[in-house]
Amino acid sequence: MAKGLIRLCYAKVIDASASGTWEKYVFDDTYREFFMQAQYYNQQQKFSSFREILENDPKADRLHALVSTAAIGYLRQLNERIPDVTNVSGKVFIPFKNFRFEIMQSHVKDKYQHKIAIHFYSEVLTWIDTVQNMFLLAIGDQRDALRNGQMIDTEMVAWRPNLGISAFQLAAAVQTIDAHVQEGSDLKL
């Protein structure tokens, strides 16, 4: 039986040390967008860093969303699969629809201080078990198939830096509720 349903979150950090082509394009284009958008919040050009701009104009928090537009096209290239997190065969497989873009730091005069994080949130996964540092997962909610003894497709994924569980629903709690519903019990919240 499954341990429960989870959603994973993977934070992909991109800075000047980016080595892949995709990462370099995201780095360059988000920095360019930051440089242009920051001018609105720093019209007197008194501040150089993202933190200074943010400390002096709380509305500059909008820069996260404004700069994220420069990454949208690159995110579409991922075909709704979280990058870097692979199964034991080296294949990216975890689907995502939601993400959050964050400017970790940046500087209007020094591109090499630009650092961003893209937080990818997976679709629902069935967490079946953990073997050493590996999660045994199935895409989607597979609880009914498991209860009915059906064969399901699974993936093994290793725990890695910047990967975490962002949401969890305990299978046992769901099974208890399902049993009460099947018995005709009234459930009240």
> Exposed/middle/buried for 57, CB within 10 Å: 0-12, 13-18, 19+?
middle
Amino acid identity of residue 99, one-letter, is F
Residue-level pLDDT at 173: 56
The list of the chain residues with pLDDT below 70 reads: 172-189
What is the pTM assigned to this prediction?
0.87
Residue-level pLDDT at 60: 97
User: What is the C-alpha separation between 58 and 163, in angstroms, rounded?
Assistant: 30
User: What is the C-alpha separation between 63 and 15, in angstroms, rounded?
Assistant: 17
Q: Are 92 and 84 in contact, with CB atoms under 8 Å apart?
A: yes
CA–CA distance from 44 to each of 36, 41, 53, 59 (Å)? 14, 9, 11, 16
Residue-level pLDDT at 1: 75
